[in-house]
Structure 1
Amino acid sequence: MTQPQRQHRTNWAGNVTYRARDLVEPGSVAELQEVVATAAAAGGRVRALGSRHSFSTVADTDGRQVGTRRLGLEVELEDGDEDEADGPFAVVPGGATYAEVAPVLHEHGRALHNLGSLPHISVAGACATGTHGSGDGLGSLATAVTAVEIVASSGDLVRIAAGDPDFGGAVLSLGALGVVTRLWLRTEPTYEVAQRVWEDLPADEVADQLGAVLASGTSVSVFTDLADPTRVSSVWVKQRTDASGVLAPCLASRAPATRELHPVPGVDPAAASPQLGVPGPWHERLPHFRASHLPSVGDELQSELFLPRSAAPHLLAALTGIRDVVAPALLVHEIRSAAADDLWLSPLRGRDSVMAHFTWRPEPDVVMPALRAVEEALAPFSPRAHWGKITATPGLRAPERAYDLAVFETLRRRLDPGGVFAQDLLSLPEA
């Protein structure tokens, strides 16, 4: 096990300084079990720390943080049923990143259904916080999980699989049930994706056709910086080559870009995934950023609200009305879509959604008033805030009736009766 690290540590963006007294990285699952059991016996607290890409305090604690990258586990493929659609499954170390997992799967002829906008995030952390990509028919990354193995507060290994009554609370759990050691992911035959980008589009056409725009490919993102309320910066369409999409009229009537772009207008596109319609492996096209480069801008804050799909036609108009407050704080605004799921704490629970994502300048004094204005403007659409990003309205993390909080709390108390993995985000007041 690594020696405990006691220096001040922050998340990736630097907006959260962890309160944890130290960080340890066990060298095996057995060592991790000992760390957890020892903390529980002493009445202490433990939180798993992944790639540190969350912008909220989801990974923080006043006790001990544990890293899981040194547990000695490898990516493996495990046979499922005879039907190829049910396997093989990928058995993935919780601390591994998608950038590490995806190439291994591709080399074995397998793929995942989707990826997030950057591949640098840990699998366990992404699933535990509801991270997603885009695609009308595609669920969050957590919906690929068929089983999860955790170290519970007793120090015991617990495996919860699909079909178990507790499964709906075990995958997207904010780390509140234990430390994830391994996940089983549903895979499919590998595939290629071609990415094309349309730039500088009329905002009124995109707004009027937003549903059709988001359905124009396997995975679609709309980007704008709100600098010019009459224009949308770009629309990114990622299309599987083994399927076809129907472009929205505002795209079909125009030629795609002939140069590569970055999601943030004016930024060097070297870090962005390949475009210009050139097909490539799924894991090199579905994310917006290359695994070999620094993700996104690198010095930023992020927030995101999940809205019902019916809100799509009204989204750009609502933001245009507050652009004088929002634009000075904004690097770029992204609109994506995702399919509903039935996970107890999922922002996608029970409703197909359109997501309003904001990449902000790293200036909290400017950002928080702008974010508050966004949340107020979108309040009529019953928004749900992303667990891993900032919010100006704490109650949006767990809006009334959105989640099965009572059922989840029963599961948490059973697996962690002493509150070793207690999570402040689950007890925020309504606001």
Structure 2
Amino acid sequence: MAMSTANWARNIEFNAERFHEPVSVDELRRIVAGSASLRVLGTGHSFNAIADTRGDLVSLARLPKVAELDEQEATVTVSAGLRFAELTEVLHRSGFALHNLGSLPHISVAGACATGTHGSGVGNGCLASAVRAIELVTAEGELVTIERDAPDFSGTVVSLGALGVVTRITLDLVPAFEVRQWVYEGLPTAALRERFDEVMAAAYSVSLFTDWRTDRINQVWVKRTAPEEAPERWLAARLADGPRHPVPGMPAEQCTEQLGTPGPWHARLPHFRMGFTPSSGDELQSEYFVDRADAVAAFDAVNAIRERISPVLQVGEIRTVAADRLWLSPAYERDAVAFHFTWRPDAVRATEAARAVERALAPFAARPHWGKVFTADPETLRGLYPRHDAFRGLLARLDPSGKFRNEFVEHYFPTGQDPAPHLARGTRNPGQNS
């Protein structure tokens, strides 16, 4: 199987000199030890150059698939290249679940954790918050395990692939549960602003989809664990009379089952089914995390520029993520509201729109998703993460030769004192796509 030379959205062409698909951890260790510069490619669902390299690019997809359940400890140890859809049904059959899932079951476990990819729910931490231990290959090709009680653990989980090649991850589990999903349409933004916390806490997971064109939220996706039926009307929004897709014009069959039909957690928490192209399939994405206390003010700030962003937007989503202690997590030490934007596949216009959103959200210290389109400069990013310099120190200790660095990592976590000493005036920001 040939490795792709581009990411999922095909807006990034990889510059690697060599592609590798090792079939064993020992082969992977030899590749790492013999490389001068190396990055790991997950499922290619990042929309910027975070995975790119001019050296060796490695896919873990052909490593032996591992899902070792420890029922007594309520954990599962999985191979890093495993996708969530390959794991969740196995867990459910054994009576266990992950506490949270992202919108897409298509992505790899390691890639999601490395970038702080999250899922949704006021009480639900990001996917990486379930990590109990990580096994990785170091720059010398050694295999090491870092557990939750290790001093540097909180810096190694969301690490952007910059500390080594993760081979296995151990995740905490919860008892399996069922979810019922409904979609409401036409929630007035006035009601949302007045009762934002109530809306977002109305279920295990709530997502708001809007095109930022009117004074109503197009769709509210409500994922409940409680057995009660949903009322026909809720805060002036009306229950949808059939299944819906969040992106206008896309077929609802691509989405997980709605209309309140009970189903296992893994078949309801994601928005999209594994057997179909997720979302619209032809798109770019940006996402920004603000403190939940600033949610309404941040909403107003984006709403004020809606005429600038709506022409290039397919759909926007607003969701919540609980705080965690992972140094580079966008929800680090603050309960967050995430403003997500699915752009039309126009890199120049999407980057311009993302820049406008960042300016609007700047008063709220908005942290961009590491794997999506953003334009923030290194000094801005440094100010958004209290443990930024601690992570730079971790990079220097665990990978002193910079084997796992690329332009993206060096740009935001430079080895020198200057925040971006290697970038000449006018050089493209690795977080953007133009």
Please, which runs of 5 or more residues in structure 1 have no aligned partner? 81-86
Q: Please name the residue that 1:215 is paired with.
A: 201
Question: Equivalent residue for 1:169?
Answer: 155
Q: Which residue of 1 aligns with 2:415?
A: none
Q: How does 1:106-125 map to 2 (within 5 A)?
A: 106-125=92-111
Which of the numbers 28, 45, 48 marks the counterpart of 1:53? 45
Shift of 1:410: 2.3
For residues 343-399 of structure 1, the C-alpha deviation after alignment (integer angstroms, 9 at most, x for no partner) is: 111111111110110000001222222221111111111111110001122348724
Note closer, same or farther for the CA distance 1:260–1:401 as it changes in structure 2 (3 Å cut).
closer
Instruction: Report 1:342-357 matches (<5 A).
Output: 342-357=325-340
Write the distance in 1 (CA, Å) between the matches of 2:241 and 2:379. Answer: 40
Q: Residue 250 and residue 163 in structure 1: after superposition, are their counterparts in 2 closer, same or farther (change >3 A)?
A: farther
Residue 196 of structure 2 corresponds to residue 236 of structure 1:
no
CA distance in 1, matches of 2:171, 2:70: 10
Contact 1:384–1:396 (CA<8 Å) still a contact in 2? no
Displacement of 1:79: 4.4
Match of 1:206 in 2: 192
Question: In structure 2, what residue type is equivalent to 1:12?
Answer: W
Q: Which amino acid is the alignment partner of residue 62 of structure 1?
A: R
Q: Cα RMSD (Å) of the superposition? A: 2.1
Distance 1:389 1:264, change over 3 A: same
TM-score normalized with structure 1 length: 0.91
- Note if 1:301 corresponds to 2:287: no
CA distance in 2, matches of 1:135, 1:281: 17
Answering whether residue 240 of structure 2 is matched by residue 257 of structure 1, we say: yes
Structure 1 distance, partners of 2:341, 2:258, is 22
1-structure distance, mates of 2:133, 2:380: 25
SS in 2 for 1:132: coil
- Give deviations 1:58-89, integer Å, cap 9, x for gaps: 11111101111222132110244xxxxxx221
User: Which is further off, 124-133 or 203-212?
Assistant: 203-212
* Alignment match, 1:195: 181
Secondary structure of the equivalent of 1:335? strand
Once residues 261 and 246 of structure 1 are traced to their aligned partners in structure 2, the CA distance between those partners, rounded to angstroms, is 16
Query: CA 1:395–1:410 in 2, change beyond 3 Å: closer, same or farther?
Result: closer
**2:253 — aligned with what?**
270
- The count of residues paired between Structure 1 and Structure 2 equals 414
Q: Once the two structures are superposed, what CA deviation does each residue of 1:173-227 show, in whole Å capped at 9, x if it has no partner?
A: 1111111110000011111100011012222212222221111110000010022
- The partner residue of 2:76 within 90, 94, 119 is 90
Match of 2:61 in 1: 69
SS of the aligned residue for 1:135 comes to coil
170-179 or 400-409, which deviates more: 400-409
Aligned counterparts of 2:211 and 2:380: Cα–Cα separation in 1: 25
* Alpha-carbon distance in structure 1 between the residues aligned to 2:76 and 2:337: 29
- Structure 2: segments with no counterpart, 5+ residues: 413-418, 421-428, 430-434
- Change in Cα spacing, 1:250 to 1:336, as seen in structure 2 (3 Å) is farther
Letter in 2 for 1:144: A
- AA aligned to 2:333 is G
Is the Cα contact below 8 Å between 1:233 and 1:265 reproduced in 2? no
Structure-2-length-normalised TM-score:
0.91
Distance in 1 between residues matched to 2:142 and 2:77, nearest whole Å = 19
